[in-house]
Amino acid sequence: MSERDPRIVFVTGASRGIGRGIAGRFLADGLRVAVGYCNHPVDRENFAPYPSERILPVQVDVHSRNSLQEAMGAIRDHFAGDVDVLVNNAAMAQEKPFLEITDNDWDHMMAVNLRGPFVAIQEALPAMRQKGWGRIINISSIGGQWGGFNQVHYAAAKAGLINLTRSVAKLFSAEGITCNAVAPGLVATDMVAKELSSEAGLKKVQGIPAGRIGTVEEVASAVCYLASDEASYITGQTMNVNGGMYFG
């Protein structure tokens, strides 16, 4: 990749919600973006303003190393270069009382929400190290900071993702590769729609110091900043985008 070529971004879980907003913001900023998806195909109309040479929808199952390797290869072939910015956004959620969580529930949650980012980072790092530059942003959650009630396995995976972020930052920041996490609070997406429609969800909104839920665009702005050259001295951090719900 020449110095004039826009950087290559890979956003997992980018066909809807926060991931789609992140991918759209990177495209608007002029970067080349691989829009990762699994069960929800990319609607090209969502990215209609952007030329095909700067966008690549790529199907990937993040709990499979083979699938991630194939996705990285497709990105390399399409853009004639390796991933510069990795955004681990793909995730799953499941509401279940703690005593009803099965071994399979736990294992699948960890495979998607924690092992997936671990594998994606391993696959992206060699090229980043060779270039001496890279940005890794992991999308965690406020649930990974203050725990969960009906999503204990989700909260545990997201907490693990924060510690994975710190560990990778310790290992590779000296090589020009930063690793940070973004922890959204309640954001207007399909994933939290059910929660917000409940009485408990409404009480949560009423207790947010900012007085409202967040937007996808606000999360995307934080991610894009952490991916920029301006954020080169920020690493191992968790940026809270939660309207004041949690101050830790």
**DSSP letter string, 93-116:** -----GGG--HHHHHHHHIIIIIH
Q: Dump pLDDT digits (tens) for 2-36.
A: 455 899 999 999 999 999 999 999 999 999 999 99
Active site residues: 154
Among 18, 13, 17, 30, which Cα is nearest to 182's?
18
Q: What is the pLDDT of residues 23-69, one digit of tens each?
A: 999 999 999 999 999 988 898 888 888 888 999 999 999 999 999 99
3-state DSSP assignment of residue 23: helix
3-state secondary structure of 178: strand
Q: What is the pTM of this model?
A: 0.94
- Cβ-proximal residues to 11 (8 Å cutoff; 6+ apart), any chain: 19, 22, 23, 26, 33, 34, 35, 36, 87, 89
User: pLDDT for 187-240, tens place per residue?
Assistant: 988 766 666 767 767 777 888 999 999 999 999 999 999 999 999 999 999 999
CATH of 8-187+215-239, one of 2.102.10.10, 3.40.50.620, 3.40.50.720, 3.10.105.10: 3.40.50.720
Phi/psi of residue 136, each to 5°?
A: -120, 125
